[in-house]
Structure 1
Amino acid sequence: MRAIDLNLLVVLDALLAERHLSRAAERLNMSQPAVSHALARLRILLDDPLFHRRRREMEPTLRALELSAPLAEALAQIRTVLAPEGFEPTERHVFRLAMSDYGTALLLPDLMQRLRAEAPGIDLVVTQKSREGMIGAVVDGEIDMAFGVFPDLPSRCVAETLFEDEYACLLDPLAQPQPYHGLTEALYWAAPHVLTAVHGEAATELDLHLRSHHKHRRIALVLPHWNVAPHVVRGTDLILTVARRCLDSVGPDLMIAAPPIATPSIPFAAIFAKRRRTDPALRWLIEQVRQVSGARPVPRSELKRH
């Protein structure tokens, strides 16, 4: 162990996360030649090329991929040991998050007000990915935390439910083919529907629930953005079934109605890598998110048990 420069492992972790030499150098605050030199030493140390250049990115070898998870776990533990007991958000720190525009609308306004008032040195970088993309980015260390609905998670992720939403339907009562006297089950199944899915035509929890009861909606429009969906309902016979909190700012000419069918609840959660469950910075951020989301406070001991 004395002959191994542990800084090389930090470089390898950054290269695995970025898959790009200059981005890894920027992440590490190192020069590109210094990262190249470290990679050369790693190749000798591990007796493996570790990466092959493919177009604009570096593709990891099988050996590098095998090292990715245990390396990230080991470095997280080292950072936890060396880090102070708590996290003081008085210095510059960047958190990388992923969420849909639904999560963005619900969390970001209040979260940013809180951060700007109490921790102005904290910066956020927010991206949007499919559910599978969010989970993969959390596991790989590309992002710190993701927000959304995650019915199935790998064992390397931890989820904390922030709140539960419910489904509601939005429609234009004046654009229905028959005089509107309320949203009935017959109207619901006869109507064309709008589906919001970041990942193309992927089935939502609602549709999976309906299929389990041998029911199917007619999807007339698939959209990747929650905030656009209410606008396409106006003047059409379309019905939009989404989380109730998405519909707080729709116009008075549109009707919000309870679904005339049984629907599942919508548990909105934050997920992060299990290896980082004791990371003081991440625990601090989770607490800020709890405060703005109105989530039930979770004791730190409970967080550690995940």
Structure 2
Amino acid sequence: MDLHGIDLNLLVAFDALMAERSVTRAGVRIGRTQPAMSAALSRLRALLQDELFIRGPVGLQPTPRALDLAEPLGHALAEIQRTLEFTQVFDPSKSTVTLSIGLSEHAAFVVLPKLLASLRVEAPGIVLRIRNFDHRDAVISLLDSGEADLTVGVPHTPAGRILSASLFEEGFVCIVRKDHPHADTELTLDAFLQMSHLLVSPENERFGMVDAALGKLGLRRRLALTLPQMYAAPPLVASSDLIATLMKGVVEASGYREQLHVLKPPLELGTATFDMAWHRRNDVHPAQRWLREVIGSLFEKAAS
């Protein structure tokens, strides 16, 4: 049978006729007039090549073919109803849905512990699938393809179909090993320029924001090592003479804080903003909207 020729409303009408055994009452049940129900029954008979319902002494009597169809069609309609209701009503305490989140390296350290603690209480059945990305504009392809329901990372290149909201900011610090010669002195710009630097560049760029700030002053620093993994930087600095400029949160979460000396950068670097982003097509999806609200509330509480 060609499913393209089947009107779902006909199956709804069949289900009502099975329940009421009356064209009039079936019409009332689903909000249709008697002529509309009679027309639906005629179409069903032609489609299924069976009388389906025969008039009897106490209403319509289903044929064997109708009885065979009643249970599987009833289950199918109930499943469709549950599916449609899922997109309108979402109960996190009972849900077992899988939600996908794209996280940059630092965002994973910041977001996941708080989020998992919250889900353990509010939505223990929900499953999270984490996708990693390094380049800020990878969020666009992750969201376009549906590989991620939302992402958290530094701001991407604007795209009208991608919505976003700021979650948190990170300031920058310089780190050296605990017994470094500059550990107990104020870090001057001259001293900063004389040191060997470690550059963290997840996007594999040759220059970072420090280089951009120095470039405005007509200055350059001496790079000794460039690597894409920011959480690899603290242990490398702790065991060398290198200096690195990192987000403060990375240093605190690295596990190497006690082996490092933290210094104030000798030039203004501003802050790094981390955004939560999602595709416009998913803006009103209940489960995804709920997840965004949970993540947003975690950082609203931290800021208050």
Q: CA offsets, 1:146-193, max 9 Å, x none?
A: 1111153222211110111111111125234x6852211112222222
Matches within 5 A, 1:84-233: 84-89=87-92, 90-130=94-134, 131-150=136-155, 152-176=157-181, 180-201=184-205, 203-211=207-215, 214-233=218-237
What TM-score comes out, normalization by structure 2 length? 0.64
Q: Distance in 2 between matches of 1:3 and 1:258?
A: 70
Question: Per-residue displacement from partner, 1:18-61 (whole Å, max 9, x unpaired)?
Answer: xxxxxxxxxxxxxxxxxxxxxxxxxxxxxxxxxxxxxxxxxxxx
Structure 1 residues 157 and 2: CA distance shift in structure 2, 3 A: farther
Alignment of 1:244 with 2:248, yes or no, is yes
Which amino acid letter does the alignment assign opposite residue 139 of structure 2? M
Q: Segments of 4+ in structure 1 off by > 6 A?
A: 1-5
The secondary structure found in structure 1 opposite 2:137 is: helix
Distance 1:205 1:271 in 2: 23
SS of match in other structure, 1:187 = helix
Asked which structure has the greater RCO (Cα within 8 Å, sep 6+), the reply is 1
1:282 to 278, 281, 288: 288
Letter paired with 2:95: E
Tell me how far apart the structure 2 counterparts of residues 103 and 113 of structure 1 sit (CA, whole Å): 16
Aligned residues of 2:282 and 2:288 also touching (Cα < 8 A): yes
Identity within the alignment, %: 26
Unaligned runs of 5+ in 2: 9-82
Provide, for residues 192-214 of structure 1, a one-character-per-residue CA deviation record: whole Å limited to 9, x for no partner.
Answer: 22222223236444544544554
- TM-score, normalised to structure 1, is 0.64
Instruction: Output the CA distance in 2 between the equivalents of 1:97 and 1:206.
Output: 30
Question: 2:102, 2:188 → 1: CA distance?
Answer: 37
Q: Are the aligned partners of 1:175 and 1:235 in contact in 2 as well (CA < 8 Å)?
A: no
- Further displaced range: 210-219 or 242-251: 210-219
The two structures, once aligned, show a CA RMSD in angstroms of 3.0
Aligned to 2:39: none
Residue type of the alignment partner of 1:263: L
Gaps of 5+ in 1: 6-79, 298-306
